A and B are shown apart, each in its own frame.
Chain A
């Protein structure tokens, strides 16, 4: 059965802080929120004074019980909703939400397989929820994250991922600009990178891939060429706006 609450809930912005120059973490307080699993998302709805409505899906960066959720919003250049959420939404303002949604792209501590997470850009958001859940459950299941991003300035939650590295190690991969002293050059994630930086098929991992559609599909194809069975790969494609 789904844990989704029927209808639309109201979330109030209680905390916000910048993640990067183009992204913001927002915390919403939602009365009657049932809590959520790591990897679930919400549909967020905005209504303009003339009645026009826009709905967008956002992965939840937080997980577990409680009546607050954290979202990480990336401001997209031609976006209709994201610029408003990043630049304009103020403390005390409300938005409508539907959720928690999803059950496939979810990780629960009851799962026994080793976990490989592969994030493209803002695709790291559901993996924050998974890494946090993994840590707070003191799970002994191996979990590691390969985080592909353009430049070091684009990183979400860098400090927290560092803190989590004892239980879930992050491998950073840069596609445009590397930090000073970095031993590798910048470039797209290749099958060879995946082979050296992710759990091999012999470890029988469950691999989650999240990010823009092109990233997800290229990585998935590379993973199957490395020998991963397709049904051991779960994907979530992010859209625009």
Chain B
């Protein structure tokens, strides 16, 4: 009798509960891949006072960037350890931003949204990443640039990120509205609402 093995059950302590290692990099998307020209690309941070901080692609690439190696965890149970990215820290982008609000809504080209607490995207916890594994970020993985927040489930790392809007409440984004957890910590298995 054949037994369906499914995935390898790993005792790897680097894996959050319920996760397994993958060698591939599965692509999951809630909608079509937007086609974005870097000539038209812009990233913004919009605050409650009406202030909008903007960076066009060339300005963005002029900012100090970092090479980072992080583990990423998808709510669908796959994890990849030691993934390499290059990106601009959100600490750099928020340096001149004044806000009294504690939450952000990330907006993407194509309409995707996801919500995050501000204190979880500062202090070296998040980047706008434009390279993966030494190459320009592929459109199907979120290129030209995506949000990268590796300590939360990967649906929070919004592909094709366009900007952040400050919000006073932790209002839910796309998947959060449809039943996924508003916070999404893989170490506490915060998958569903």
A contacts, CB < 8 Å to B: 46-50, 52, 54, 78, 80, 84, 88-90, 92-93
Contacts and interface: CB of A to CB of B under 8 A. Distances in A.
B4 A90 contact: no
A92 B6 CA distance: 20
Closest 4 CB pairs of A and B: A48-B6, A52-B6, A88-B2, A46-B4
A48 B1 contact: no
Interface string B1-38: 11111110100000000000000100000000000000
B2 A90 contact: yes
A78 B27 CA distance: 13
B124 to A, nearest CB: 34
A77 to B, nearest CB: 10
B9 A50 contact: yes
B68 to A, nearest CB: 27
Contact of B3 (A48, A78, A92): A48
A20 B139 CA distance: 34
A12 to B, nearest CB: 12
B7 A84 contact: no
Nearest to B26: A78
B126 to A, nearest CB: 30
B4 A47 contact: yes
Interface residues of B, number: 9
29 contacts: A46-B4, A46-B6, A47-B4, A48-B3, A48-B4, A48-B5, A48-B6, A48-B7, A49-B3, A50-B6, A50-B9, A52-B6, A52-B7, A54-B4, A54-B6, A78-B24, A80-B6, A80-B7, A84-B2, A84-B4, A84-B5, A88-B2, A88-B4, A89-B2, A90-B1, A90-B2, A92-B1, A93-B1, A93-B2
Nearest to A50: B9
Contacts of A88: 2, 4
Contacts of A47: 4
Nearest to B7: A52
Contacts of A78: 24
A75 to B, nearest CB: 14
Contacts of A93: 1-2
A93 B2 CA distance: 7
B107 to A, nearest CB: 27
Contacts of A84: 2, 4-5
B85 to A, nearest CB: 23
A172 B52 CA distance: 59
A15 to B, nearest CB: 16
A92 to B, nearest CB: 7
Contacts of A48: 3-7
Residue from the set B1, B2, B4, B9 with the largest chain A CB neighbour count within 10 Å: B4
Nearest to B2: A88
Residue from the set A52, A80, A84 with the largest chain B CB neighbour count within 10 Å: A52
Nearest to A94: B1
Given A48-B5, A90-B1, 16 more contacts: A46-B4, A48-B3, A48-B7, A49-B3, A50-B9, A52-B6, A52-B7, A54-B6, A78-B24, A80-B7, A84-B2, A84-B4, A84-B5, A88-B2, A89-B2, A93-B2
Nearest to A49: B3
